[in-house]
Chain A
Amino acid sequence: QTVVTQEPSFSVSPGGTVTLTCGLNSGSVSTNYFPSWYQQTPGQAPRTLIYSTNTRSSGVPDRFSGSILGNKAALTITGAQADDESDYYCVLCMSSGIWVFGGGTKLTVL
């Protein structure tokens, strides 16, 4: 069974930089998985940050960036702000066409 892994929680200081990762329980993540990242605050619909590894969605500030780091996809937030405190989800597209989300990372800014 395919499992997409994310850190359950992370903390960053205001103004700091944090990198969240998205991996696979078996194998490496590459651009062929079209990794994408979403931000969600309680009670709200998800908001798209990054799709297809590193394409920023419309209106997303450039302090959010996506990449492949080693064998994982990564979301880097530079100059963290208080309103970046959210849940972050990644999703990968398997070769079968099935999409699988990670369990999400709860980011705290303090």
Chain B
Amino acid sequence: QVQLVESGGGVVQPGGSLRLSCAASGFTFSSYGMHWVRQAPGKGLEWVTFIRFDGSNKYYADSVKGRFTISRDSSKNTLYLQMNSLKTEDTAFYYCAKAVGATVRTSFDYWGQGTLVTVSS
């Protein structure tokens, strides 16, 4: 069965950096696009970024463009989110989600359990 396990969350100061990982199993990782979605405590869902199955195209929400970078390593079946210049408003649970298909215009079907990022001084 599909499993997505996020890790790397924690507490970081404003302006700091953090790298999240998402270990994928139960499907052919190299054939599917992947998303990151976040949710501030008590708030709604916010789409963050997407990477195509082969890593050739990436899309970002305006709120993170230029600060966050999505990447993937198909040899390790792992998705990453490098977060730089973190702001207090980036505090959220971060979920990785498997896309239904290979490209951006397919939705998400499976989700991880999330990892909490807290940006605070």
Contact = CB atoms under 8 A, between A and B. Distances in A.
Interface of A: 34, 36, 38, 40, 45-48, 51-52, 57-58, 89, 91, 93, 96-104
Contacts, number: 64
B13 interface: no
Interface centre among B35, B105, B112 (most CB of A within 10 A): B105
Given A45-B95, A45-B113, A46-B95, A98 B47 contact: yes
Contacts of B46: 101
A104 B111 contact: no
B95 A99 contact: no
A104 B37 CA distance: 14
A58 B109 CA distance: 9
Interface string B89-103: 000000100001000
Nearest to B42: A42
A36 B98 CA distance: 14
B11 interface: no
Interface string B51-71: 000000101011000000000
B107 A34 contact: yes
B105 A101 contact: no
